[in-house]
């Protein structure tokens, strides 16, 4: 069997003496959309940043396509084919839309096919083409989110991590963003989606892990989306 796209084993991360992850274990197969939900402070963002090498790993392991990422600096991890769309989008407000997009090119492992990839992303997200010369800070929240995803995509990731892409967006806009995620997956990109909105995430993703207190507490499938009892247990049970 092929190596999982991402394999996180007993991952521990601490902020000083405070543990944020206490042995989280999960794995994602190539081509999947996997959700990660959990209450505030469960360690969701911490897990993503640890995978990206932006936080030091205190214990356990992270493997991307079989290779360990422990101690590898972020700039190299990005070039190996991972990309993170951070929470709050973090587009560069003073730069133009096109400049923001081009920053995504920095993290490419290879320079082949840049114009094709830019073209594909512009088709997927017309907003990055239509407003190319506009200051990115002037875009609406939904447009900024699309730009942030587009920027991550032009680095040509095989695994795309998204941290709360629906945060602060109107429901209709959220739907557009999620439809796009399905399209992105169909081009062969594996997706890990961190969300606060548990129910719709469980219904959307192939599988969803529930994180609580720094550990993975359970795994859910779309069939569980309407099982409110199980949902509540996942969030508040011990």
Binding site for another protein (CB under 8 A): 52, 54, 74-75, 78-79, 84, 86, 90, 92-95, 99, 102-108, 135, 137-141, 144, 151-152, 155, 168
CB of 159 to another protein, least distance (A): 14
> Which one, of 105, 147, 95, lies nearest residue 126 by Cα?
147
Q: Which is nearer to another protein, 107 or 212 (CB)?
A: 107
**Burial of 195 by CB count in 10 Å (0-12 exposed, 13-18 middle, 19+ buried)?**
buried
Q: Which is nearer to another protein, 21 or 85 (CB)?
A: 85
CB of 137 to another protein, least distance (A): 4
Cβ atoms of 165 and 83 closer than 8 Å = no
* 121 half-sphere exposure, CB direction, 13 A CA radius: 27
Q: Which is nearer to another protein, 140 or 182 (CB)?
A: 140
CB of 96 to another protein, least distance (A): 10
CB of 122 to another protein, least distance (A): 18
The three-class DSSP label of residue 25 is: strand
- What is the rounded (10 degree) CA torsion for 44, 45, 46, 47? 60
Q: In angstroms, rounded to a whole number, what is the distance separating the alpha carbons of residues 7 and 227?
A: 28
Q: Which is nearer to another protein, 96 or 199 (CB)?
A: 96
Helix/strand/coil percent split, the chain, to 5: 40, 25, 35
CB of 220 to another protein, least distance (A): 28
Q: In angstroms, rounded to a whole number, what is the distance separating the alpha carbons of residues 90 and 15?
A: 22
Q: Which is nearer to another protein, 41 or 137 (CB)?
A: 137
Q: In angstroms, rounded to a whole number, what is the distance separating the alpha carbons of residues 24 and 194?
A: 14
CB of 213 to another protein, least distance (A): 26
Q: Which is nearer to another protein, 99 or 233 (CB)?
A: 99
């Amino acid at each position: 069997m092929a190596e999982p796209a991402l394999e996180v084993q007993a991952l521990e991360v601490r902020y000083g003496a405070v543990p944020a992850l206490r042995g989280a274990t999960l794995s994602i197969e190539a081509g999947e959309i996997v959700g990660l939900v959990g209450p505030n402070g469960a360690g969701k963002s911490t897990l993503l940043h640890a995978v990206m090498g932006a936080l030091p790993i205190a214990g356990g392991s992270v493997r991307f396509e079989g290779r360990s990422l422990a101690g590898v600096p972020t700039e190299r991890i990005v070039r190996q084919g991972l990309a993170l769309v951070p929470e709050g989008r973090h587009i560069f407000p003073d730069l133009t839309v096109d400049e923001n997009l081009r920053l995504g090119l920095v993290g490419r492992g290879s320079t082949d096919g840049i114009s094709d990839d830019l073209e594909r992303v512009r088709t997927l997200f017309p907003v990055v083409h239509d407003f190319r010369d506009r200051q990115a800070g002037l875009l609406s929240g939904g447009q900024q989110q699309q730009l942030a995803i587009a920027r991550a995509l032009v680095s040509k990731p095989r695994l795309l991590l998204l941290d709360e892409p629906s945060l602060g967006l109107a429901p209709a806009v959220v739907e557009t963003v999620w439809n796009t995620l399905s399209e992105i997956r169909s081009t062969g990109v594996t997706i890990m989606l961190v969300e606060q909105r548990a129910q719709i995430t469980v219904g959307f993703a192939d599988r969803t892990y529930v994180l609580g207190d720094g550990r993975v507490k359970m795994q859910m499938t779309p069939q569980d989306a309407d099982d409110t009892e199980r949902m509540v247990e996942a969030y508040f049970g011990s």
